[in-house]
Chain A
Amino acid sequence: MKSKSLAKWLISGPPLLYLLLFFAIPSLIMAFAAFRFPGDYGGLMPLTTANPDTGATELLINFGNWRDFLTLENFQRFFDEPIYFELFVKSFWYAGLTTVICIVLAYPLAWLIARSPRKTRDLLVLLVILPFWSNFLIRVYAWMIILGPQSYFSRALNSVLAVFGVEPVSLLFSQFAVIVGLVYVHLPFMVLPLYANLEKHDMALLDAAQDLGANAWQRFWKVTWPLSLPGVWAGTALVFIPALGMFAIPDLLGGTNSMMIGNLIKQQYLDSRDWPFGSVLSIMLTFTVLLLAALAAWAGSRGKDKR
């Protein structure tokens, strides 16, 4: 019994330690930073200083006067200026739209793979994850070429539009390009959990539904869709949350008006070097996502009780 629990700790110890060191502690530091003042030259206002004579570390603050080094100003700023809230809304809209498009595109593909013969199935799954073999940035740069004004794609599209008398459109550096990029990058993360779910479905259920009078549409909505919801939720979590925090794609493919919350956070940390406000943005983002997840879980359990 004792050696068993020792083995359990030995096995789970390294990953636990890793997460503690590189996730839990940084998160706490960030949460603390959100309540601190920015430093004069960026970063955080120092709490300690090195004595120029002795080189010893000295506290600059008195813990009794916590108002000297802790503040709610950063949060105040977030709630005072509507632009940050608007950016949140826009980011959620982008991530949500990306998720919905991913579900619509991934569902038929996942279904097709799940219904293929065993051998073909493995090959198709391999093809879905094949893009991961090339670097993420290279794939996004490839989209810059595809959507660029000189690409065959853009020129073909614009000449078709010209026939209908529509002004030429610029695809790159637009919201459209950002959504295309987000969908492209996240699609496999929707296909794989959906496939894993659909593959386990018992085909006899569809036969039974048809036998009992359900047409193709009803068979999908009454049987396949509700049974695939765990896969849809897993895919949604894997797509929505990373898409929400994405900054590289809006940076590369987006224009000035397609900035997302991730870009702002990156800007605060790296360009403005305002770590406290960057921390506030990060915390608000995490908090909102957790709130949404809790709401979804609550709605899900309520729905189950009703049934």
Chain B
Amino acid sequence: MALLEIRDVVKTFGDFTAVNHVSLAVEAGEFFTLLGPSGCGKTTLLRMLAGFEQPDSGEILLDGKNMAGVPPEKRPVHTVFQSYALFPHMTVAQNIAFPLKMAGVASAEIPKRVDEVLEDVRLQQFARRYPHELSGGQRQRVAIARALVNRPRLLLLDEPLSALDAKLREQMQIELINLQKEVGITFVYVTHDQGEALALSHRIAVMSQGQVEQLDAPETIYSYPKSRFVADFIGQCNLLDATITEVQPGRMKVEIEGVGTAEALPVAGAQVGGKGTLTLRPEKIKLGATLPQGNADEVHFKGRVHDCLYLGDVTIYIVELDNGTLVETMLPNSGSGKAKFFDDNDLVELAWRFDAGHFVLA
């Protein structure tokens, strides 16, 4: 039995449907992420898990128990809030002791439990500080420690890293992964940052307009997006409108609008004449001044560099094909002695394998 089960949950605010018939299950010990743009319903879903909102219809089951009507303070679920919401009038130790006191843990045991969790988040020497005396990253860790200390069945994290700068965020991501492994508590993590979701999660539910678009492991979501929305939202992606012209076992041919004929892996339900989108990640496209011809598994196109974005480690090249279509691709700047390989208006060749892209039926 799954630890958390969400069954056909609907939540509306006036005319706006925030969560629209969502069903999903989260296993014990999982790092589960709700990913989507703002307004997609992920935060509303999280607030329903915490108990701050009640679903209009559908059920939320935790350990098989229906949570309907159970107020937040009675749920074995704690939340790390986006703003951290640390109590400013309490020290770090008092903040962390708060849920233990509320749960009626024996006062003799509280300091021991607080010390343990402070050690987990490496903040032992800050126990007597007040929140305003801490840095952003330290506050973040206190918020996590406070939510973890009473060993909730479920830890909810609402965009917890969004207030940190990029470098600290990366460091906190690693700490979060390790912490989750260490404590073994199930995490439900809400974010709009696809990079964060890919890096942290065991499974991701990509949400859009109140619905789950795709629920899969990060690699599957990235490599085999089920819809144009998912392909577009997760990472950079060329979205090429195409029509299926031939279907064979293991291989199909598509006519890409403004590009030409290419081969692709067949997808379930593919039929000749079927329209859809070929999703092609920039890093799957080969780029060179000249590329070896004659590989039957590859398609070739010629073009010229339209724009380059130099990012330091890699350069992103927007290549204009002969017929005017723009394709995004990238190359690591690994050529010794060269800052980057091409400049604007350089003539280049593109190639990709038939299984590099993923076709999504419209």
Closest-CB distance, B97 to chain A (whole angstroms): 10
List A contacts of B37 (CB < 8 A): none
**A215 contacts B73, C-beta separation under 8 Å:** yes
The complex places the Cα of A226 from the Cα of B87 at a distance, in Å, of: 10
Q: Residue-by-residue, is A209-228 near B (CB-CB < 8 Å gives 1, otherwise 0)?
A: 11111110010001100110
Q: Does B88 interact with chain A (Cβ within 8 Å)?
A: yes
The complex places the Cα of A210 from the Cα of B50 at a distance, in Å, of: 10
Closest-CB distance, A304 to chain B (whole angstroms): 9
Residue from the set B51, B71, B99, B146 with the largest chain A CB neighbour count within 10 Å: B99
Q: Does A307 interact with chain B (Cβ within 8 Å)?
A: yes
The complex places the Cα of A227 from the Cα of B94 at a distance, in Å, of: 15
**A210 contacts B72, C-beta separation under 8 Å:** yes
Q: Does A208 interact with chain B (Cβ within 8 Å)?
A: yes
Q: Does A202 interact with chain B (Cβ within 8 Å)?
A: yes
Closest to B96 in A: A212
Q: Does A207 interact with chain B (Cβ within 8 Å)?
A: yes
**A204 contacts B89, C-beta separation under 8 Å:** no
**B150 contacts A208, C-beta separation under 8 Å:** no
**B102 contacts A218, C-beta separation under 8 Å:** yes
**B89 contacts A212, C-beta separation under 8 Å:** no
Closest to B104 in A: A213
How many residues of chain A get a CB closer than 8 Å to chain B's CBs? 18
The complex places the Cα of A212 from the Cα of B145 at a distance, in Å, of: 12
Q: State the main secondary structure of chain A at its contact with B.
A: helix
Q: Does B262 interact with chain A (Cβ within 8 Å)?
A: no
How many residues of chain B get a CB closer than 8 Å to chain A's CBs? 27
Residue from the set B72, B79, B103 with the largest chain A CB neighbour count within 10 Å: B72
**B103 contacts A213, C-beta separation under 8 Å:** yes
Q: Does A205 interact with chain B (Cβ within 8 Å)?
A: yes
Q: A212-B99, A222-B98 are in contact. Are A205 and B73 (CB under 8 A)?
A: no
**B71 contacts A212, C-beta separation under 8 Å:** no
**B73 contacts A307, C-beta separation under 8 Å:** no
The complex places the Cα of A98 from the Cα of B351 at a distance, in Å, of: 85
The complex places the Cα of A212 from the Cα of B103 at a distance, in Å, of: 9
List B contacts of A212 (CB < 8 A): 73, 78, 98-99, 102, 146-147, 150
The complex places the Cα of A34 from the Cα of B87 at a distance, in Å, of: 50
Q: Residue-by-residue, is B105-148 near A (CB-CB < 8 Å gives 1, otherwise 0)?
A: 00000000000000000000000000000000000000000110
**A207 contacts B85, C-beta separation under 8 Å:** yes
Closest to A227 in B: B89
Closest to A222 in B: B98
Closest-CB distance, A307 to chain B (whole angstroms): 6
The complex places the Cα of A208 from the Cα of B85 at a distance, in Å, of: 6
Closest-CB distance, A185 to chain B (whole angstroms): 32
Which one of A205, A215, A222 lies within 8 Å of B85 (CB-CB)?
A: A205
Closest to A213 in B: B102
Closest-CB distance, A26 to chain B (whole angstroms): 41
The complex places the Cα of A202 from the Cα of B71 at a distance, in Å, of: 20
Q: Residue-by-residue, is A268-307 near B (CB-CB < 8 Å gives 1, otherwise 0)?
A: 0000000000000000000000000000000000000001
**A207 contacts B71, C-beta separation under 8 Å:** no
Which one of A204, A211, A215, A223 lies within 8 Å of B83 (CB-CB)?
A: A204
Residues of A within 8 A of B (CB): 202, 204-205, 207-215, 218, 222-223, 226-227, 307
Known: A211-B51, A226-B89. 9 other contacts (CB 8 A): A207-B52, A207-B85, A209-B98, A211-B147, A212-B78, A212-B102, A212-B146, A223-B87, A307-B90
27 A-B pairs with C-beta separation under 8 A = A202-B83, A202-B85, A204-B83, A205-B85, A205-B88, A207-B52, A208-B81, A208-B86, A208-B87, A209-B87, A209-B98, A210-B73, A211-B52, A211-B72, A211-B73, A211-B77, A212-B102, A213-B74, A213-B99, A213-B102, A213-B103, A215-B73, A222-B87, A222-B98, A223-B87, A307-B90, A307-B94
